[in-house]
Amino acid sequence: ILAIAQGSSELNISVVLRESDVKSALQELHSEFRLEKLRPLPERVEKHVDLVTLGSGQIGRSFIRQIIGQKHFLAQTLGVSASCIAISDRSGPVLNMKGFSESELIDILEIKAQGGKLRSGSQSTLGKPQNPAEQIMGVVRKDLFTHAVQKGIVVDVTGDDTHNMLLEFIEQGYHVVLANKRPLTVPMDAYKHMLERAAARKVAIRYEATVGAGLPVLDTIAKLQSAGDQIETVLGCLSGTLGYISTQIGAGVPLSQAVREARQLGYTEPHPADDLSGLDVARKALILSRTIGRNLNLSDVETKPLFPERLYHADPDIFVQRLSEMDQEIADMVQKGASQRLVPRYVARIEKEKLSVGLEMVSENSPLGRLQGTDNQIVIRTRRYDSNPLIVTGPGAGAEVTAAGVVNDVVAIATSYFGV
C-alpha cells in the first residue's frame, strides 16, 4: 500500500496501490468481505448465473447447446438468465466476463467439433505440454478469480481428477455441478473435506448426471431420505455399454462379437477394456453408496471385470480378438442360466455389508432381467418400499441425456438460490 485515506463522511476508504498489485488486492478484499454476495452489477438482471464449463467434449458441447436452446424458457418461466463466462479444454480456458454471445458459443462449438483447441500456446518453454489442470487454473486464478462473480456455477463435464481444482472454485464461492465421477470417488477424507468446505461457503454440490445420466436417481434418493425413509439396498444396471453387451450375449451372441458390435455402434470407450473392467460402474456404485451414507472407498468395491487380466492388450483390436477365448465360457454360463430362466446382467449391488459390481445371472422376469439394450435401471429398496421396491428406468447413456441431467442441476441451483 502506497497511501491510504479515510473520507470525511467516514463511509469510504481510498487506497493507492502499485498497478501490479491491484488484481491480487481485489481478490483478497472480495474473499475477506465476501463481496460476491452483493447485488449484481446494474447491467445484470437479479436472477442471473455465470457458468464456468470445465470440459468441451461431447457432453460439454451438448450442455452448451442446451443452455442456448433453453435461454427463453429459463428467462420467461423461471426468471433466470445464464451466461457462459468461461469454457475450457485441455489447452486451457477462454473467458468473457460479460458472457459469450450465442454466435460466439456456436463458434466455440464448431472449433471443438472439428478437433481444435480453445487456446493456442499451450506448450511450455521447453516444448512439453503443461499439466491440463495447471494450464486451466493458471488462467483461472489470474483472469477469473480476480473478477467479482455474484452467482457462479462451475460445471465439470471432464473425466479428469479435478478435485483440487473444484476446491479452489468452492473457496471462491462457486456452486458445483458434476457429470465427472472422479471428484466424488476420491479417498473418503478428501471427499468429506470437499463437502465440509462447500457447507462452510454455503454453496451446493449437485451430481445427478454421474449416475444414470439424466435419470432422476440421486434426486429420488434425496427425496426419500428427506422424508425420513431409510435406504436398505440399491441394485442397478448402471452402464449402457455393458447393458448392450449383456443383452447380446443373453441372446446367444459370442462375447467378442458383442463387444465388436458395441464398438462399431460407438457405445464403448476408445479402448473397450475401460468398459469391461467394471471400474466406471464401480465409481457409480461408490457414489450411490456415499450418497446413502456409507463411508467407503473405491478399494472397498468388489469389482469383477468381464475379462481375465491375461487377455488385456494395449491395442484395442488385439484385445477384442483375445476376448474370443472367453466366448465358450460365457456361452456355457448363459446356456446353463437359460435352463433356469436366468439372463446375464452386469449388476451393481449396494447392500449393508457388501458393495460389488459384476456379471450375474438374474431372473428373466425380474426388473433387471426385463431390461434391454443400453437402458439403465436402479432398484431402490427402502424401509417403506420393501416388498415392492421403487424402480427408475430409462436411457442411461449418451451425451444429450447426460447433458440434460447437468442442465437440470444448474436450474435446480439457480431456482433454489433465488427462491424461485
pLDDT per position as a tens digit, 332-354: 999 999 999 999 999 999 998 88
- Residue 5: inside a domain, yes or no? no
Q: Same domain for 103 and 238?
A: no
Are 176 and 156 spatial neighbours (Cβ–Cβ below 8 Å)? Answer: yes
- What is the tens place of the pLDDT at every residue in 305-324? 999 999 999 999 999 999 99
- Residue 255: inside a domain, yes or no? yes
Find the domain containing 288 and state its range: 217-396
Q: Cα separations (Å) of 305 from 4, 25, 279, 346, 347?
A: 66, 52, 8, 10, 12
Residues 263 and 261: their CA atoms lie apart, in Å, by 5
Q: Same domain for 283 and 186?
A: no
- What is the tens place of the pLDDT at every residue in 168-211? 999 999 999 999 999 999 999 999 999 999 999 999 999 999 99
| Three cell numbers, residue 34 | 465476501
Q: Same domain for 381 and 245?
A: yes
Q: Same domain for 180 and 248?
A: no
Q: Same domain for 370 and 411?
A: no
- Residue 15: inside a domain, yes or no? no
- pLDDT-derived band at 1, boundaries 50, 70, 90: confident
- Residue 300: inside a domain, yes or no? yes
Which one of the listed residues 117, 284, 352, 354 is annotated catalytic?
A: 284
Q: Which residues pair with 375 in a beta bridge?
A: 395
- Residue 309: inside a domain, yes or no? yes
Q: Same domain for 207 and 244?
A: no
pTM equals 0.85
Our answer to whether residue 284 is catalytic in this structure is yes
Q: Same domain for 203 and 226?
A: no
- Residue 14: inside a domain, yes or no? no
Q: Same domain for 178 and 263?
A: no
Q: Same domain for 288 and 407?
A: no
Q: Same domain for 273 and 411?
A: no
- pLDDT-derived band at 6, boundaries 50, 70, 90: confident
Region 298-303: mean pLDDT is 97
Which CATH number belongs to the domain containing residue 34 in this structure?
A: 3.40.50.720
Residues 261 and 264: their CA atoms lie apart, in Å, by 5
Distance of CA 404 to the CA centre of its chain: 12
- Residue 47: inside a domain, yes or no? yes
SS3 at position 140: helix
306-336 core/surface letters (b: 16 or more CB in 10 A; e: else) = bbeeebeeeebeebbebbeebbeebeeebee
Q: Same domain for 228 and 346?
A: yes
Q: Same domain for 229 and 102?
A: no
| Three cell numbers, residue 287 | 457414489
Q: What pLDDT score does 266 carry?
A: 86
Report the DSSP pairing between strands 152-156 and 175-178.
Answer: parallel
Residues 363 and 386: their CA atoms lie apart, in Å, by 19
| Three cell numbers, residue 364 | 428373466
C-alpha triplet 9, 14, 18: angle, nearest 5°: 175
In the predicted structure, residue 299 carries a pLDDT above the cut 50: yes
Are 224 and 297 spatial neighbours (Cβ–Cβ below 8 Å)? Answer: no
Report the DSSP pairing between strands 152-156 and 92-95.
Answer: unpaired
The domain total for the chain is 2
Concatenating the DSSP letter of every residue in 171-222 gives HTT-EEEES-SGGGSS-HHHHHHHHHHHHHTT--EE-GGGTTTTS-HHHHHH
Q: What pLDDT score does 348 carry?
A: 98
In the predicted structure, residue 34 carries a pLDDT above the cut 70: no
- pLDDT-derived band at 285, boundaries 50, 70, 90: very high
Residue type, 185: T
185-223 core/surface letters (b: 16 or more CB in 10 A; e: else) = bbebeebeebeeebeebebbbbbbbbbbbbbbbbbbbee
- Residue 7: inside a domain, yes or no? no
| Three cell numbers, residue 164 | 483440487
- What is the tens place of the pLDDT at every residue in 218-270? 999 999 999 999 999 999 999 999 999 999 999 999 999 999 999 999 899 88
In the predicted structure, residue 32 carries a pLDDT above the cut 70: no
Which CATH number belongs to the domain containing residue 346 in this structure?
A: 3.30.360.10
In the predicted structure, residue 130 carries a pLDDT above the cut 60: no
